[in-house]
């Protein structure tokens, strides 16, 4: 029972985020928490549920492509089941990752929250907030005419749409709002978030949660403050991002976990709590021994996309319908290093080479070698030396090494259930370089 090649290819789309509310996506989902060291989503959800009457601000990070968005979709569903109104949005749809400031983030959150509330017939009416938006419109020469009970999301959308069209307009809007940031925060809290929580609780719900995804993709470029853009936003201005009167989960760049500002980040934005890191799926332990449990789960991740309606044990009996041998499947899983997007990317590349299944070992090796050569082109002699040290010590120290090694996906981060943390080389690099 070979799977349809086109459907299998579509199911392996590396950019696809599995949505928990989608029945088909649920069939593809594999829970890696037992080998990643912790059920991070359960911890995030528990903190919110246990402090439902208060406000929490939690930080979530990890390699881009390691599965954070899929896990956050699970968090959204779990919290909705617990009785929360959850606003999840991908900030990349609202913000320019290389050109943003605190006011941009706050307005994006306010618009998304107001849209979500309006959809369930909760329409907070802002006084100061509405006046501020009108002033912004006048300042940007985009007058906002209020007709009847204008929805708050519409007012915010008019302003942000104008700013999104032009970097110059964005800059002007920030200059106008920067001195008013305190007032903007107060208005969002008192005229939007607090009335929303009160109304939700009257309806029998526990409160409001905002999940801001994709902020981990903020460019690590210099800011006029002298800091990097991530440090400026999440550390220097962390107190303000932590001042919203609702539960918030922010994804943040992994570089901040290696920054000298880590403790300041923890205290200003995280409220004293460390960022939670989603690591790779380990295929080897720190001592070099195999992690059979990690390999088994990655096999299932691949086979679930080919045979979503089969039980896990049944899929294993169908391996040769997709691969010429179980060894070819294992080779694919191991060379991915447990980076789920890389695994799906390699798999998709193999499928594009085929007229029909199964995937043969030779086709896989060609795809691996092509990817390895392309990745190695970016590595300098000094960086090869750093990689050799990581291969030997299984550690990465300092922000500079992070920037060079982890951000470029030359090195992956791993955890286990004992709390051990280590780093290892992206296995594909071993295809073109001999690490002693």
pLDDT in tens, 84-99: 999 999 999 999 898 8
162-186 residue pLDDT tens: 787 788 888 888 889 999 999 999 9
Q: Please answer whether residues 342 and 65 qualify as being in contact, where contact means their C-beta atoms are separated by less than 8 angstroms.
A: yes
In sequence order, which ranges of 140-228 are alpha helices (DSSP H)?
A: 152-165, 167-177, 181-188, 194-202
pLDDT of residue 163: 80
What is the C-alpha separation between 40 and 67, in angstroms, rounded?
Answer: 12
Report the chain's terminal Cα–Cα distance, integer Å.
Answer: 44
> Residue 400 pLDDT > 90, yes or no?
no
Asked if 84 and 207 count as a contact pair (C-beta separation under 8 A), the reply is yes
Rg (CA), the chain: 24
| Torsional class of 406: left (φ above 0), alpha (ψ -120 to 50), beta (otherwise) | alpha
In the chain, the percentage of residues whose pLDDT exceeds 90 is 72
Tell me: the pLDDT tens digits for 346-396?
A: 999 999 999 999 999 999 999 999 999 999 998 999 999 999 999 999 998
Provide the mean pLDDT of the chain. 91
Could you give phi then psi for residue 315, rounded to 5 degrees? -60, -40
pLDDT the model gives residue 436: 66
CA distances from 110 to 52, 114, 283, 318, 398 (A): 20, 6, 42, 49, 36
User: CA of 414: how far to CAs of 36, 302, 411, 426, in Å?
Assistant: 7, 21, 10, 12
The whole-number average pLDDT for the span 53-57 is 93
Q: Does the predicted TM-score (pTM) go above 0.75? A: yes
The pLDDT assigned to 196 comes to 95
Helix (H, G, I), strand (E, B) or coil at 145: coil
Q: Which residues of 321-334 are buried (b: 16+ CB within 10 A; e: fewer)?
A: ebbbeeebbbbbbb
Exposed e or buried b per residue across 56-76, where buried means at least 16 C-beta atoms within 10 angstroms of its C-beta = bbbbbbbbbbbbbbbbbbbbb
- 21 to 29, 82, 126, 149: CA distances (angstroms): 12, 15, 32, 33
pLDDT computed for residue 148 by the predictor = 45
Please state, in angstroms and rounded to a whole number, the distance separating the CA atoms of residues 230 and 208. Answer: 26
- Write down all domains in the chain, each with its CATH number in brackets: 1-19+280-436 (no CATH), 38-278 (3.40.50)
The predicted structure's pLDDT at residue 310: 96
pLDDT band at 420 (very low <50, low <70, confident <90, very high): confident
Stronger pLDDT, 38 or 280, i.e. the higher one: 280
What residues form DSSP beta bridges with 421? 415
């Amino acid at each position: 029972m070979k799977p349809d090649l086109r459907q299998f290819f579509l199911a392996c789309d590396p950019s696809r985020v599995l949505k928990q509310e989608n029945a088909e996506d649920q069939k593809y989902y594999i829970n890696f928490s037992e080998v990643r060291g912790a059920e991070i989503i359960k911890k995030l959800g528990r903190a919110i549920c246990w402090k439902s009457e208060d406000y929490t601000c939690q930080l979530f990070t990890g390699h881009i492509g390691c599965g954070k968005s899929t896990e956050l979709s699970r968090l959204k569903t779990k919290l909705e089941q617990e009785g929360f109104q959850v606003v999840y949005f991908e900030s990349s749809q609202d913000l320019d990752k290389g050109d943003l400031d605190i006011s941009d983030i706050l307005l994006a959150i306010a618009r998304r929250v107001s849209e979500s509330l309006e959809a369930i017939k909760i329409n907070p009416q802002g006084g100061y907030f509405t006046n501020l938006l009108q002033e912004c419109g006048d300042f940007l020469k985009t007058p906002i005419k209020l007709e009847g009970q204008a929805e708050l999301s519409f007012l915010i959308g008019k302003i942000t749409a104008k700013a999104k069209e032009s970097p110059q307009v964005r800059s002007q809007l920030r200059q106008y709002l920067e001195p008013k940031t305190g007032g903007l925060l107060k208005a969002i809290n008192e005229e939007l978030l607090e009335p929303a929580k009160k109304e939700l609780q009257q309806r029998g719900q526990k409160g409001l949660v905002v999940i801001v995804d994709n902020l981990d993709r903020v460019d690590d470029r210099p800011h006029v403050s002298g800091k990097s853009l991530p440090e400026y936003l999440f550390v220097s201005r962390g107190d303000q991002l932590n001042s919203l009167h609702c539960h918030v989960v922010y994804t943040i760049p992994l570089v901040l976990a290696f920054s000298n500002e880590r403790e300041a980040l923890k205290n200003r934005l995280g409220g004293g709590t460390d960022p939670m890191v989603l690591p790779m799926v380990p295929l080897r332990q720190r001592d070099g021994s195999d992690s059979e449990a990690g390999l088994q789960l990655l096999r299932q991740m691949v086979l679930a996309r080919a045979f979503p309606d089969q039980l896990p044990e049944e899929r294993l009996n169908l391996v040769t319908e997709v691969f010429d041998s179980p060894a070819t499947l294992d080779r694919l899983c191991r060379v991915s290093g447990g980076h789920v997007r890389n695994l799906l990317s390699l798999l998709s590349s193999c499928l594009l080479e085929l007229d029909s299944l199964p995937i043969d070992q030779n086709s896989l090796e060609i795809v691996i070698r092509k990817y390895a050569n392309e990745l190695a082109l970016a590595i300098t002699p000094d960086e090869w030396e750093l990689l050799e040290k990581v291969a030997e010590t299984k550690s990465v120290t300092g922000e500079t090494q992070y920037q060079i090694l982890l951000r470029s996906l030359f090195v992956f981060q791993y955890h286990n259930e004992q709390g051990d943390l280590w780093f290892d080389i992206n296995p594909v690099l071993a295809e073109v370089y001999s690490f002693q």
